[in-house]
Amino acid sequence: MGRFMILATATLVGLAARHASADDPEPASSADETFLLGRALLKDKRYAEACPKFQQSQAQDPASGTLLALAYCQELSGLLATAWSSYLAAARLAEHEGHADRQAAASERAQALAARISSVTLNVPPELLELPGFRVSRDGVELERASFGVPIPLDGGSHVFVATAAGRVSWTNTVTLRSESDQKTLLLPLLGLPEPAPIAAAKESPKTAAPPAADSGKGDSSVTLKRASLVLAAGSLVGLGLGSAFALSAKSQNDESNANGHCDGTGCDPRGVDLRNDALSTARISTWTFVASGALAAASITLYLEALHSSSDKKHAAQVQANVSLVGPRVFLSGSF
């Protein structure tokens, strides 16, 4: 089985092609076909398409010639660090295969690229090395500790370094390199401790329930006014009953003063006078009670009508105080309507 190997530079390496004999009856393998496609793309300077073909061919059937072609393609693509690594791999594989010419060519190209490769030197303080779980990754790939403190060959572009350790705040840094001859040094800082968690707020005291909002609105005030009117109506009925009772008592006392000759057309004896005075006092109380009962009835009607027709959003309140004494009846009606 043969391979085409293209290895060229403008001044150091000439073009070389190796393939199986034209009389070789063995049909081309899939790896050979893929390799030939890569070579055609490489000649057309379509490096972004050619390099993957060489990688595919190498995966199908590893060979030093294919690795040389891949390394050369990567070099032309500007991926100098990757090409340098591929040249070294090709030299080792060629030595293993017994291809001294390929080994020499690959080693020469690797040596030539070494001075042009960009790199990052990662300096790690000894304190970090002692931290449990300490590790550093570059572009998502963990770095071996042997790479600390020495130049790490890298292709041009941006590379993300992340350092982590158990119980420490992680550190991230992005380094941007030119594609050629750009050497930078990165010093890892001491990883800090995470900030303490906020102290849990004291247990909130139970919120005091807000007092019930005062009844407002047309509906609530209407109910209140109706209830007040019923209370006044009941008071009026009680007043009517008391007034009637006092009236009957006054009539009875007056009738008694006229009986047994205590009073006649000429006057009254002492007993008759007492009975007449008692009858008058009782009659006054009856009168005042009827007046108070009427006032309560009027207030009851007023509140009921207000409850039916009120359109105010404010709370309606009413107070009624009635007092009957020997001085005279007193009825108080207060509120907002």
Q: Are 213 and 271 in contact (CB under 8 A)?
A: no
What pLDDT score does 129 carry? 92
Q: How far is CA 206 from CA 200, 201, 203, 211, 212, in A?
A: 17, 14, 9, 15, 17
What is the full DSSP assignment across 77-100? TT-HHHHHHHHHHHHHHHHHHT-H
| Minimum mean pLDDT range among 57-66, 120-129, 266-275 | 266-275
What pLDDT score does 265 carry? 63
**Identity of the amino acid at 174:** T
For the segment 107-118, what is each residue's pLDDT rounded down to a tens digit?
Answer: 999 999 999 999
For the segment 10-58, what is each residue's pLDDT rounded down to a tens digit?
Answer: 333 333 343 433 444 455 689 899 999 999 999 999 999 999 999 999 9
Range 320-325 average pLDDT = 47
Task: Give the containing element (helix H, strand E) for 29.
Answer: none
Task: Give the containing element (helix H, strand E) for 328.
Answer: none
> Quick check: 170 pLDDT over 70?
yes
Confidence (pTM): 0.52
Within 8 A by CB and 6+ apart from 198, the residues are none
